[in-house]
Structure 1
Amino acid sequence: MYVKCSDEVAKERIQKTCDLYKEGLILGDLCPALCEQQTIRYKTCTNHKGGKISLLMDCDGFCSSGKTVPAMLKSTVAAYHDTVRHSMSLLSDTVPWKNIKDLTDGVKQSIETALGPNNSSYSTEDIIKRVFYESYEHFNTSATDQLDKAFILSVWSLVQQDEYLITKLNQHSPLFPKMYHSCGSFYLLESAPPGDILNPPLNPLLPERSTWKERVNVAIRVLDAVRVLDNNFHQTLHMCDVKGENFGLTPEGQLKLIDPDDMFFTTRLENKLKGKGQCQTDHDCNIICECHGVCLKGKCHVSLKNNNLQSVCKMVLKSRTTIMDLGVLRKAPAFIKQRLQDMIEICINSREYKEKPNEEIRLKLRKILLSSI
């Protein structure tokens, strides 16, 4: 059962973050806009998960010059509380890094964990630029002991958040929301809500608000996103929590990955499977919901028995329940319905045990969809 987040608690967390900034205990280019100029204004909280803070904000001129646009202010609850706790103790022994060099080493370890040890694209440059700001010299680190501590605490609180790290390190990909700036553990993102196409109302009596053509266009964008995740990074990026509401759409119709903290590159996924220990059934080797493991001779194998395309066909394109049709391709026209259903079933039930799906299946499904509009 979902528990709605509290506006009162959300506002208290923003105020506490601003108090820490004004005391010089945290920093970030978002802080002045959020805490002094108030060009970033709270609207409502949107999260239903206890471990996340996700707040809808009005962004007045900060995100887009001369415009007021919606934006998402995010942090994990753990990162927020750790920031408050560490700032109160002025970086006591509970904080792992005491200077910029140690922080840099820790950031490199975090990136290696997230991207895999064979990734070398960040090894020859200032690593802080990759995870914080391209130009952070204006914070003038080492000017004072407290400023150094505020810098270390702010950077480290961000790097410890999986969603922040994977989004920040992949800003070159149009699949990830644009990241604006940060303040302490909080960071501001482009708003891309799922909308009714990807996250329809649960009430089956409500009329459908989207056209078939609109739903097909979104489905094609999802299929194209699968191709990017499988082929356009240094390793396959696996989606282990697949559902329509984890995708979003910008006002221009661009598809975005808005909840990527349960996405893992192959090396990290393999490490998670190795860490599962002994198993009796394949189910014991599953990662989250949709990365289905394989139990071989009492141990979890390092490969999956499904892939991104199968997960998307099952959890996004097809109905997610047998009672209500909630998939993106719901209420298909009669002339295409059976053919489309058959192709989606082929997609879901292909048993190739390959990391990357058969591209032929994706292309056939795409062709059927295009022929229906």
Structure 2
Amino acid sequence: MAKGSQSSIHHPSNSFYSRVRNSQRRGGGRGQQPPSGCRGRLAQGSADKSRRNYVAQIQKGRSGLRRGSPGPGRGRARAGAGAARRARSGTGVRGASAAPRPRRRSLGAAAAEAAAPAQPSPGAAMRGIPGLKRLRLKIWRRCALLLLLLWAACWVVVSAALFLLHRSVFSESCTDEKSRRILARLCLDYSSGALTGDLCEDLCVAQKLVYKHCLYYDRGKKVIQADWRGQPIILKSKKESFSSYQHLSMLEEVETQDIPETELLLMVALEVKNALGLELSNNTMGPLWTRKKGPRWKAQVASMWSLLQQEEYIYFSLLQDFSKHVLRIIGSCGHFYAVEYLTAGHAWHKTLFPLENVIGPSLTGHRSRVRAIIDIALSFLDMVQHFDNDFSHRLHLCDIKPENFAIRHDLTVVAIDVDMAFFEPKMRDILEQKCTGDEDCNFFDCFSKCNLKIRKCGAQRANNNLQVICDKIFRRWFSPNLRGPLVSLPLQLQLQKAVQECAQPGHTGAAGHQRTLKSLSELYHLLRVTQRELQGPE
């Protein structure tokens, strides 16, 4: 057994590393125990001696490199020393891993390898790429945040500038304090002799016209509710102050009552033509000029001129003797004019108009409400026919909604806001504009067609008052959701079908006119039949 051990030690093919590999093969891999007995002790001693020689060679090489030029070789030498320490800790310890040892290298090879420049490993390069992506993402987020903050700052600056330049846009809240201040300024102008009117004495001196509350402000227009001798009225003006209206330069050139009344009537006619597009004779100017020369003659002319600059006042003044479907003017003071008080409709109301104010609380049963709706619908048809045929020119309503109408106690429909009402000549001027499509020819509820050849809107309106009323008002009243047992089902279905056909946009020209007449006649007939069916008791 000793001879076998000695021969294995001195045989040239049995080096230290070959003996270690053979022991691993015999032990069966990692975690096997070294051979026991004398042979094992000899193998252990030979391994220790070989390790000591290998470490000495490495240390000698490190000292030689340390004496030479500094550089990356030092790192290589340190790596070799670390490998030697790992070799010592991994072999000869019972129970340790038996991993294979690296081959022995000569001192020159170790020095040459240590002198070579260190190359970055591919793993380190791959680990650097995600870090670069995270850096780019962080920079992008910060840039986006800075842009957002810059945009917000610009928006605040622009809003502040608009507030300072156009403060009236943000201060159009309807308040009692502001309304009282407006009327107080009106009375101050009256006391100074700048304006006059048949209601100024009751408002500013006798206190028979008493302020109630503000109704609304709309684009400079002021609408105020007041009480005049126990009767509710509405005060209106297109602008807030009297000085906001254009003054008549003629009044500054004359000091006495030297202007002939015929010249004043001519000026009124020119102003009406400019506002409405109508040419009126002197015989029809009575409602617009009833002032007579007197002590306050200049104030009368100045007040009249401020009223003539309000189209709605001209409409009400000219039509109140010819139509029951417009508000009645009660009087004026300066640039404010008073009209009868009526409760306007609302789109959110179930029946669009507050019927309890019309038919009384004692007649608010279902049958009474349905009868009232039928009567109001017939009045709408009367108004359409009246505006289309009873004037020298057709009157177009371009802003049809419940808020612009009211109902009198006799269930008559009244147009209470006609700022968007135009007679045919004015309507043609408004519609005849440049266009690239039909959508460029829409003016509120008044539509026209675009002629793509000349890129201009047609002067003739494509829809009409009846079509818009059927669409915005009658649809709500005669929809399937409002069916009831009071009217027979076939009649209800016929009425609904007629309203649907009426609401569809028609054709222009003679075909469109005939279709409108047919829809109007059919609706009249069906509503009257429905009215007869509802004649029974509640």
Query: TM-score normalised by the shorter chain: which range applies?
Result: 0.7 to 0.9
The residue type equivalent to 1:22 in the other structure is S
- Pairing 1:220–2:367 present: no
Partner of 2:439: 283
Q: 1:258-283 CA distances to partner (integer Å, 9 max, x unpaired)?
A: 00111100001111123x3x201112
Q: Does 1:106 align with 2:267?
A: yes
Unmatched segments (≥5 aa) in structure 2:
1-171, 252-258, 357-363
C-alpha contact (below 8 Å) 2:381/2:524 kept by paired residues: yes
Output the amino acid matched with 1:310: Q
Closer, same or farther: CA 232–162 of 1 in aligned 2, 3 Å:
same
Do 1:279 and 1:300's aligned partners in 2 also have CA atoms closer than 8 Å? yes
Number of equivalent positions? 329
Q: Which protein is richer in helix relative to its size?
A: 2
1:1-373 correspondence runs (5 A): 5-60=174-229, 68-77=230-239, 80-81=240-241, 83-85=242-244, 95-99=247-251, 100=259, 104-117=265-278, 119=279, 122-125=280-283, 127=285, 129-133=286-290, 136-137=291-292, 139-140=293-294, 147-172=296-321, 173-194=323-344, 198-199=345-346, 201=348, 211-274=369-432, 276=433, 278-287=434-443, 289-296=444-451, 297=453, 298-319=455-476, 327=477, 331-333=482-484, 335=489, 336-354=491-509, 356=513, 358-372=516-530, 373=534
| TM-score for the superposition, normalised by structure 2 | 0.56
CA RMSD of aligned residues (A): 2.8
Query: Partner of 2:449: helix, strand, or coil?
Result: strand
Structure 1 CA distance for aligned equivalents of residues 243 and 385 of structure 2: 41
Work out whether residues 114 and 166 of structure 1, in 8 Å CA contact, stay in contact via their aligned partners in 2: no
- Return the offset for 1:250: 2.1
> Secondary structure of the equivalent of 2:234?
strand
8 Å Cα contact 2:478-2:495 kept in structure 1 = no
Summarize the Cα distance change of 1:338–1:130 in structure 2 as closer, same or farther, 3 Å threshold: same
SS of the aligned residue for 2:463 comes to coil
In structure 2, how many angstroms separate the alpha carbons of the residues matched to 1:57 and 1:347? 40
Cα shift at 1:106: 3.4
Q: Structure 1: how far apart are the matches of 2:407 and 2:203?
A: 25
Cα distance in 2 for partners of 1:318, 1:126 equals 39
C-alpha displacement of 1:235: 0.7
Q: Shift in Å at residue 114 of structure 1? A: 4.0
Question: Residues 208, 269 of structure 1: CA spacing in aligned structure 2 closer, same or farther, 3 A cutoff?
Answer: closer
Higher RCO (C-alpha 8 Å, min separation 6): 1
Distance, in Å, in 2 between the alignment partners of 1:20 and 1:208 is 41
AA partner of residue 249 (structure 2) = W
User: Quick one: distance in 1 between partners of 2:516 and 2:244?
Assistant: 49
Q: Following the alignment from structure 2 to structure 1, what is the Cα–Cα distance between the partners of residues 288 and 399? A: 24
| Structure 1 contact 167–177 (Cα < 8 Å) conserved | yes
Residue identity in the other structure for 1:258: I
Alignment partners' CA distance in 2, 1:41 and 1:132: 27
* CA radius of gyration, larger in: 2
Q: Cα deviation per residue 1:198-255 (whole Å; 9 max; x = unaligned)?
A: 4254589xx9966211111111111111010111111110000001221112233332
Q: Which runs of 4+ in 1 moved over 6 A?
A: none
Distance 1:37 1:215 in 2: 42
- Range with greater deviation from structure 2 (350-359 or 26-35): 350-359
Identity of aligned residues (%): 28
Displacement of 1:34 after TM fit?
Answer: 1.4
**What's 2:166 paired with?**
none
- The alignment's TM-score, normalised by the length of structure 1, stands at 0.80
SS in 2 for 1:98: helix
CA distance in 2, matches of 1:290, 1:25: 40
AA in 1 matched with 2:302:
L
User: What is the alpha-carbon distance in structure 1 between the residues aligned to residue 182 and residue 483 of structure 2?
Assistant: 45
Residues 98 and 149 in structure 1, CA contact (< 8 A), matched pair in contact too: no
Q: SS in structure 2 opposite 1:318?
A: helix
Q: CA deviation at 1:309?
A: 0.5
Higher strand share: 1
Q: Alpha-carbon deviations, 1:309-362, whole Å to 9, x = none?
A: 10110112123xxxxxxx587724362443322111110115231485622211
SS at match of 2:459: strand
